[in-house]
Amino acid sequence: MINKVILIGNVGTDPEVRTFDSGRKKARFALATSKRWTSKDGEDREETQWHNIECWGRDADYVGEFISKGARLYIEGKIEYRTFEKDDGQKSYFTSINAGWPDGSIKILNKKGGNAGEAKSDDSDEIDLSKDIPTVDFGDLPPVD
């Protein structure tokens, strides 16, 4: 089975890096992806989706150091769904994208200190958290019946 998502979007919040009692670190931030189109009436439309991004360990350190609000990122990760019960007994649901190694990668697409809208250039700072992750050749998958 495959659980993989690819997103390109802009960071909407500065990453929150949390260190647990065990010493393990977790980074979380929001990423916005947008779709633009022209309606039948000729109006320009835009729809934005917000994604909760998480990563752990050394990846959390990198995110905390190199990523800030406004950065444009390329993210590969896996979707995780969690259910928990609130204090009042209500069930609550949370969906996130785990973008840390070994499940994914994060690449910064705009220059460090630049605007999110700037295109990647040769002098851009790119952090690739996907080192040593094997790639999947989808051509080797059996056909779906």
CA-to-CA distance for 35 and 31, rounded, in angstroms? 14
In DSSP terms, which residues pair with 18 in a beta bridge? 26
pLDDT digits (tens, 9 = 90+) for 38-96: 999 999 999 999 999 999 999 999 999 999 999 999 999 999 999 988 899 999 999 99
Which pTM was predicted?
Answer: 0.72
Cis geometry, peptide bond prior to residue 142 (ω within 30 degrees of 0): no
pLDDT for 111 equals 60
CA-to-CA distance for 63 and 106, rounded, in angstroms? 9
For domain 5-37+47-129, the CATH superfamily is Nucleic acid-binding proteins (2.40.50.140)
pLDDT digits (tens, 9 = 90+) for 110-120: 865 444 433 33
Q: Where do the domains of the chain lie?
A: 5-37+47-129
pLDDT for 123 equals 44
Q: Is 53 exposed, middle or buried (0-12, 13-18, 19+ CB in 10 A)?
A: buried
pLDDT for 101 equals 80
Alpha carbon 56 to its chain centroid, in Å, reads 13
